[in-house]
A and B are shown apart, each in its own frame.
Chain A
Amino acid sequence: MTDYAIQQVVNALSAGSLYALMAVGLAMVFGILRLINFAHGDVMMVASYIAFFALGAGLSLPIALPIVVTGTVIVGLLMERVAYRPLRGAPDVALLLSSFAVGQILQNGVLLGTRLAGLPTLIAFPSPEILNGVVTIGAITIPKVNVASFFAGIVLLGLLTVFVTRTTLGLSMRAAAEDLSAARLMGIKVNRVVATAFGIGAGLAAVAGVLYSVQAGQINPYMGFTPVLKAFIAAVIGGFGSIAGAVLGGYVLGFLEVFVTALAGIGDLLPAGSVPPEVRSFLQTILPSGLGSWRDAVVFVILILVLLVRPQGILGRRGPDDEL
Chain B
Amino acid sequence: MRDNVALRRAAGPGLVIVLTSIALAVLDISGQSFWQGLAINLAIFMILTVSLNLTSGFTGVFSLGQIGFMALGAYISAILTLPLAEKAAYLSDLPSWLAGVHLDQVIGPFPVGFLAATLIAAVIVSGVAWLVGRVLMRLSGHFVAVATLGFLVIVRVVLFNADAFTRGSRTFSNVTPYTNVWWSWAWVLLVVYVVWRIKRSAYGRDMFVQRDDRLAAQAVGIRVMSPRLLAFVVGAFFSAVAGSLYAHFITSFSPTVFYFDLTFRVITMLVIGGMGSVSGSILGAIAIVFLTEGLRRVEDATLLYGLSAIILAIIFIVVITVRREGFLGQREVPLDRLFLRRQKTPDEPKPEAQSP
> What is A's interface to B at a CB cutoff of 8 Å?
34, 36, 83, 86-87, 90-94, 96-98, 100-102, 104-105, 107-109, 111-112, 115-116, 225, 229, 232, 236, 240, 290, 293-294, 296-297, 300-301, 303-304, 307-308, 311, 321-324
CB pair A300 B150 closer than 8 Å? yes
B79-87, B181-189, B315-323: which one contacts chain A? B315-323
CB pair A108 B306 closer than 8 Å? yes
Task: Report B-chain residues with C-beta under 8 Å of the C-beta of A112.
Answer: 304-307, 310
* Interface: B139 (CB within 8 A): yes
Nearest 4 pairs of A and B residues by beta carbon: A108-B306, A300-B150, A297-B157, A111-B306
* Interface: B7 (CB within 8 A): no
Q: Count of A-B contacts with CB under 8 A? A: 130
Task: Report B-chain residues with C-beta under 8 Å of the C-beta of A34.
Answer: 142
* Interface: B146 (CB within 8 A): yes
Task: Report B-chain residues with C-beta under 8 Å of the C-beta of A308.
Answer: 135, 138-139
5 pairs, A vs B, C-beta closer than 8 Å: A112-B305, A296-B157, A297-B158, A322-B143, A324-B138
Query: Which of B62, B306, B312 contacts A96, CB < 8 Å?
Result: B62
CB pair A36 B142 closer than 8 Å? yes
Task: Report B-chain residues with C-beta under 8 Å of the C-beta of A98.
Answer: 316-317, 320-321
Query: Which of B138, B161, B310 contacts A293, CB < 8 Å?
Result: B161
CB pair B313 A104 closer than 8 Å? yes
Residue of A nearest to B150 (CB): A300
Closest CB in chain A relative to B13 CB, distance in Å: 30
Query: Which of A105, A304, A324 contacts B225, CB < 8 Å?
Result: A324
Query: Which of B136, B305, B320 contacts A97, CB < 8 Å?
Result: B320
Task: Report B-chain residues with C-beta under 8 Å of the C-beta of A105.
Answer: 309-310, 313-314
Task: Report B-chain residues with C-beta under 8 Å of the C-beta of A104.
Answer: 264, 309-310, 312-313
Distance, CA A80 to CA B321, complexed state (A): 13
Closest CB in chain A relative to B305 CB, distance in Å: 6
Distance, CA A272 to CA B309, complexed state (A): 56
Task: Report B-chain residues with C-beta under 8 Å of the C-beta of A116.
Answer: 304
CB pair A307 B147 closer than 8 Å? yes
Distance, CA A296 to CA B150, complexed state (A): 9
CB pair B320 A303 closer than 8 Å? no
Residue of A nearest to B315 (CB): A101
Distance, CA A229 to CA B62, complexed state (A): 17
Distance, CA A97 to CA B149, complexed state (A): 13
Closest CB in chain A relative to B277 CB, distance in Å: 16
Distance, CA A322 to CA B271, complexed state (A): 23
Q: Given that A36-B142, A109-B306, A308-B135 are known contacts, is A303 also in contact with B313, CB under 8 Å in the complex?
A: no
Q: Given that A111-B306, A115-B304, A296-B157 are known contacts, is A304 also in contact with B147, CB under 8 Å in the complex?
A: yes
Closest CB in chain B relative to A318 CB, distance in Å: 11
Task: Report A-chain residues with C-beta under 8 Å of the C-beta of B267.
Answer: 97, 100
Query: Other than the known A116-B304, A229-B149, what 11 A-B pairs have Cβ atoms closer than 8 Å?
Result: A96-B62, A97-B316, A97-B320, A100-B313, A101-B314, A297-B154, A303-B150, A304-B151, A311-B139, A321-B140, A323-B140
